Chain A
Amino acid sequence: MIKKYSIAKILLTVAVLFFVVGYIVYPLCQLLIQSFSEKGTYSQLFDKTVYTACFNSILLSIISVIGSAITGVGLAYIFQYKKFAFKPFFSTMVLLPIAIPPMVGVMCFLFLLGENGLLLKLLPVNAFKFDGWFAIIALHLYSFYPLFFLFVGAAFKNLDNSIVEASYTLGAGKFKTFYSVILPQLLPSLIGASLLTFMASMASFSAPFIFGGETRFLTTAIYYAKINSDNSYAAVLSILLTVISILFFAFLNWYRNKQPLTGRTKGAIKSIISFDNKNVSYLSLSIVLIFCIAIALPIVSLFILSLIPEGSLMQPGLNYTYSLNNFKNIFIDNDALQPFINSIESSVIAIVLTLMIGLAVAYIIRGKKNVFKSLVEIIIALPYGIPGTVIAICLILSFNSPNLFSFHTILVGTFWILPVAYAVRNIPILSQAVMAGLHAIDPSIEEASATLGATNFKTWRSITLPLIYPSILQGSLLVFINSFGEFVATILLYNYSTKTISVEVYSQLRLYNDGIAAAYGVIIFLIILLIVFLSRRALNRFATINNL
């Protein structure tokens, strides 16, 4: 019996290795080869411009992580412990930014705060300029705090409140309890979210590109190097970016593994208590309300722009004629639906691929650490720290000709290259979500299962998997959202029949058709919103069934 499941484990390991080597290591080798294609490129690393770009990127990422953490955890805390009206409604509202892909997000902020933006027309302020660091950080906070809200919110739900109560009974204050009792229990999720935010900020392109102006960042430097057809320099900078991400990843991973596993109470978790249960908190309500208005404004301006004729923003005043013409223009084409189908399809396949690999990886890595496991863990996290363009180019170079890993077919030019690219890019998200879920499980539950005679696989399937199901669902959701609006890799990989929505948005933006682009943005937003809503329902149903 034991032998049989060992075979299963060996097979899984082989499958994971196949993916890791074929779709991450091998394409990255192409990057390395390119970085050596010209002599002396590495010596340029000591230029002052590179140093500045590096410093700015790291600083931006650190500010993004800290800012998003404070915002996200603060909100999660209010939603967990305070009582106020319309809570379910607001808890959906604060997640809205997740439904906005980077390209659309930049568009929203431009329409609201840009040169001829709506807000600047409403308010008589001429001196205000939405530009530079302030704008980039604002946009990063806007897109990344929901990660913390989601991850930490989930951890709050699993929090053992009897410990919190104990802390109060023993005379600890609110702050002390939060700092010494609650925070340590949130640590795995905090670290997971910080990792993703740091890497995403390092690899973020749209915001620094549009608002950065003269400030140098690594991603924009890579872009300019590429546009300057300085491919080896672009490759060197990408490697530098990747190395920084790895270092940060390794540091946080080391820190996480140093933490003692939080012992979870056996038996049912004590239901949520709230500190101010009796009085409804008006303060919390007003904070959340103001926050939600701030969240909604860019989206509202996107909606407005999608409803007014092209070029209206350039006219002074706010007297617009509203119509659905921009939406009609989208559906004039015969095959206007195809991009939507393509986007949904490749994102769904990407989810399936990441799920298969992510779960297999989690299954293998679970348990005692060794060098091999740590290596797999790090490699699997790499793609998130690499800009999308670079991933796309690596994939093209790797799958331009038939090879072992593509089962002797040519992937470039087929539909499959898109989901593969999305899966490669997003595998870190899913595996991070799963790892965070696993870290929160008390190993003694699994040990109990083993003691009672269950095989490894049986324990995994009936104990571990159900416990991390919420994390898996949330991870898959993020994978979907990221893939659905993915642009930078798609533009190099799509072909005529696999055009995605983001490609259409770009086509319109290139022709300066802001209105139609905004209309596409609205549709993308609504589709993602629908998916978020459905998956939250699934999550809630799961929670009710399992009495969590």
Chain B
Amino acid sequence: MRKYIVYLFIAVAILSGCHLKKAKQKLVIYSPHGKEMLGEFEKLFEAAHPDVDVQWLDMGSQEVFDRVSTESQNPQADIWWGSPSTMFIRAEKLGLLQKYKPTWANNVPAYAKSKNDFWYGTFSTPQVIAFNSNKLSADKAPKDWNEIASPAWRGKVVFRNPLASGTLRAIFCAMLARSVAQTGNEEQGWKWLRQLDSNTIVYAADPTQMYNKLGGQNEAVTLWNMPDMILQKDKYHYPFGYNIPQSGTIVLTDGIAVIKGTKNEALADSFYEFVTTQQSLLMQAQKYYRIPSRTDIPRDSFPDWLKNTNYTTLDVDWDVVADKETEWMKKWDATIKTSK
């Protein structure tokens, strides 16, 4: 037995020796954008800056937020690339971000940037009413927000669990914020959510299961983001179609920010600029189905899937959403979801 323990210790000593090597200047990115896109921009940026080692950590927006806020005493990362704007609004309030005004700052709509330059929008994500195209046509599927909540669709609505989904949280809260803006109170928004809940047959735990249920053997509809629906259809041939709500749609903004306390500020800024040039944004649109937030990109350079997309943006006060999200979602969970 003593022999094994000695082996164990030798193995540990050798293995831990491997961690002592020193690298080039490090730039650490936290991002939910996925391995493929991150890997590609790592290579492109390193080719342009040979003395830099770009290190990205791929994880969900929530995990990025957790890390950035728990590490605030001793920041480990330089750039936070990608998360819904409401998360950046909260991070700005908590003092987790570092100001940076990009060269293209004036070419972004006002709702897609921080007033104080703490974060800027990179992608716009319109939300749509998606349906099973094997069982329904665009004509038959719901065409507006009120329609999907009407009794005609009882038992046909599937959802990803809204608490765990940034997309659905944003839609739900945006509807409440609109209710407040239009009628002065939340009541109309809650009514809509209650009707929606009574139409819902299932809250799936993750997107894959939601896709399975949407593309299954029944007439099914859901609310989801447009680029993802197109991607699933084009790439994996899922039977999905979508209607853009006629009265206008909720558009989420995906942002980028420098993390406060970064030790490589100049380098972080240049990465910030690098991934948001017109050329980079077009490439992200082409390959990864992201819609640029920048308004100065000529439309005829867009990839085909994007050229023919037209939508009107619903006016939503995202500061109110960021402020109330916690309270509203808790209330939704406690009073509406249990109503069944």
Answer yes or no: do A and B interact: yes
- The chain A residue sitting closest to B215, CB to CB, is A314
* Distance, CA A495 to CA B30, complexed state (A): 10
Q: How far is the CB of A510 from chain B (nearest CB, A)?
A: 7
> Chain B at the A interface: mostly helix, strand, loop or mixed?
helix
Contacting pair B164 A352 (CB below 8 A): no
- Among B15, B55, B205, point to the contact of A496 (Cβ < 8 A): B55
Contacting pair A400 B73 (CB below 8 A): yes
Contacting pair B209 A114 (CB below 8 A): yes
B329 at the binding interface (Cβ < 8 Å): yes
- What are the 9 closest A-B residue pairs judged by CB atoms, nearest first? A496-B55, A115-B212, A311-B236, A396-B70, A400-B73, A413-B76, A210-B205, A345-B15, A224-B163
Q: How far is the CB of A470 from chain B (nearest CB, A)?
A: 11
16 A-B pairs (CB sep. < 8 Å)? A224-B164, A227-B62, A228-B326, A310-B236, A345-B16, A349-B16, A352-B8, A413-B71, A491-B59, A492-B63, A495-B57, A496-B56, A497-B19, A512-B208, A512-B211, A512-B232
B102 at the binding interface (Cβ < 8 Å): no
The verdict on A314 contacting B164 (CB below 8 Å), with A209-B205, A224-B333, A496-B56 known, is no
- Among A348, A496, A510, point to the contact of B12 (Cβ < 8 A): A348
Contacting pair A230 B326 (CB below 8 A): yes
* Distance, CA A401 to CA B75, complexed state (A): 11
Contact with B along A204-234 (1 / 0, CB 8 A): 0000011111100000000110111110000
| With A413-B71, A512-B232 already in contact, 5 other A-B pairs whose C-beta atoms are closer than 8 Å | A349-B12, A397-B70, A496-B55, A507-B58, A512-B207
* Distance, CA A211 to CA B59, complexed state (A): 22
- The chain B residue sitting closest to A394, CB to CB, is B70
* Distance, CA A226 to CA B63, complexed state (A): 10
Contacting pair B212 A47 (CB below 8 A): no
- The chain A residue sitting closest to B208, CB to CB, is A512
> Which residues on A sit within 8 Å (CB–CB) of B19?
415, 497
- The chain A residue sitting closest to B236, CB to CB, is A311
A393 at the binding interface (Cβ < 8 Å): yes
Q: How far is the CB of B64 from chain A (nearest CB, A)?
A: 10
- Among B9, B32, B67, B325, point to the contact of A352 (Cβ < 8 A): B9
Q: Which A positions have Cβ atoms within 8 angstroms of B?
A: 47, 49, 110, 114-116, 209-214, 223-224, 226-230, 310-311, 314, 341, 345, 348-349, 351-352, 393, 396-397, 400-401, 410, 412-413, 415, 465-466, 469, 491-492, 494-497, 503, 506-512, 514, 538, 542
Contacting pair A210 B325 (CB below 8 A): no
Contacting pair A229 B65 (CB below 8 A): yes
Q: Which B positions have Cβ atoms within 8 angstroms of A?
A: 1, 4, 8-9, 11-12, 15-16, 18-19, 26, 28, 32, 34-36, 55-60, 62-63, 65-67, 70-71, 73-74, 76, 90, 163-164, 202-203, 205-209, 211-213, 215-216, 232, 236-238, 325-326, 329-330, 333-334, 337-338, 340
Q: How far is the CB of A211 from chain B (nearest CB, A)?
A: 7
The verdict on A400 contacting B74 (CB below 8 Å), with A209-B205, A314-B212 known, is yes
- Among A115, A212, A341, A492, point to the contact of B66 (Cβ < 8 A): A492
> Which residues on B sit within 8 Å (CB–CB) of A508?
35
- Among A227, A314, A393, A542, point to the contact of B163 (Cβ < 8 A): A227
Contacting pair B34 A510 (CB below 8 A): yes
> Which residues on A sit within 8 Å (CB–CB) of B338?
49, 214
* Distance, CA A209 to CA B161, complexed state (A): 10
> Which residues on A sit within 8 Å (CB–CB) of B12?
345, 348-349, 352
Contacting pair B58 A115 (CB below 8 A): no
* Distance, CA A115 to CA B333, complexed state (A): 25
Q: How far is the CB of A148 from chain B (nearest CB, A)?
A: 26
> Which residues on B sit within 8 Å (CB–CB) of A348?
8, 11-12, 15
> Which residues on B sit within 8 Å (CB–CB) of A116?
212, 216
- The chain A residue sitting closest to B87, CB to CB, is A229
> Which residues on B sit within 8 Å (CB–CB) of A410?
74
Contacting pair A412 B205 (CB below 8 A): no
- The chain A residue sitting closest to B15, CB to CB, is A345
- The chain A residue sitting closest to B163, CB to CB, is A224
Q: Taking each of B18, B34, B70, B337, which has the highest tally of chain A beta carbons within 10 Å of its own beta carbon?
A: B70
- Among A115, A212, A506, A512, point to the contact of B213 (Cβ < 8 A): A115
* Distance, CA A422 to CA B56, complexed state (A): 23
> Chain A at the B interface: mostly helix, strand, loop or mixed?
helix
Contacting pair A228 B325 (CB below 8 A): yes
Q: How far is the CB of B77 from chain A (nearest CB, A)?
A: 9
> Which residues on B sit within 8 Å (CB–CB) of A507?
34-35, 58
- The chain A residue sitting closest to B212, CB to CB, is A115
> Which residues on A sit within 8 Å (CB–CB) of B36?
511
Contacting pair A412 B329 (CB below 8 A): no
Contacting pair A49 B333 (CB below 8 A): yes
> Which residues on A sit within 8 Å (CB–CB) of B334?
47, 49
Q: How far is the CB of B159 from chain A (nearest CB, A)?
A: 11
Contacting pair B70 A400 (CB below 8 A): yes
Q: How far is the CB of A461 from chain B (nearest CB, A)?
A: 10
> Which residues on B sit within 8 Å (CB–CB) of A511?
34-36
Contacting pair B73 A311 (CB below 8 A): no
> Which residues on B sit within 8 Å (CB–CB) of A393?
66, 70
> Which residues on B sit within 8 Å (CB–CB) of A469?
1
Contacting pair A228 B330 (CB below 8 A): yes
> Which residues on B sit within 8 Å (CB–CB) of A491?
59, 63
> Which residues on A sit within 8 Å (CB–CB) of B26?
496
The verdict on A229 contacting B8 (CB below 8 Å), with A114-B209, A114-B212, A224-B163 known, is no
Contacting pair B333 A226 (CB below 8 A): no
- The chain A residue sitting closest to B63, CB to CB, is A491
Contacting pair B330 A230 (CB below 8 A): yes
Q: How far is the CB of B279 from chain A (nearest CB, A)?
A: 24
> Which residues on A sit within 8 Å (CB–CB) of B71?
396, 400, 412-413
> Which residues on A sit within 8 Å (CB–CB) of B215?
314
> Which residues on B sit within 8 Å (CB–CB) of A311?
236-238
- The chain B residue sitting closest to A110, CB to CB, is B209
> Which residues on A sit within 8 Å (CB–CB) of B28?
495-496
Q: How far is the CB of B336 from chain A (nearest CB, A)?
A: 11
* Distance, CA A497 to CA B215, complexed state (A): 39
> Which residues on A sit within 8 Å (CB–CB) of B340?
214
- Among A227, A229, A230, A397, point to the contact of B164 (Cβ < 8 A): A227
Q: Taking each of A227, A466, A542, which has the highest tally of chain B beta carbons within 10 Å of its own beta carbon?
A: A227
> Which residues on A sit within 8 Å (CB–CB) of B70?
393, 396-397, 400, 492
Q: Taking each of A211, A223, A224, A341, which has the highest tally of chain B beta carbons within 10 Å of its own beta carbon?
A: A224
> Which residues on A sit within 8 Å (CB–CB) of B90?
229
- Among B74, B206, B208, B212, point to the contact of A401 (Cβ < 8 A): B74
The verdict on A496 contacting B11 (CB below 8 Å), with A116-B212, A228-B329 known, is no
> Which residues on A sit within 8 Å (CB–CB) of B205?
209-213
Contacting pair B15 A115 (CB below 8 A): no
* Distance, CA A191 to CA B9, complexed state (A): 32
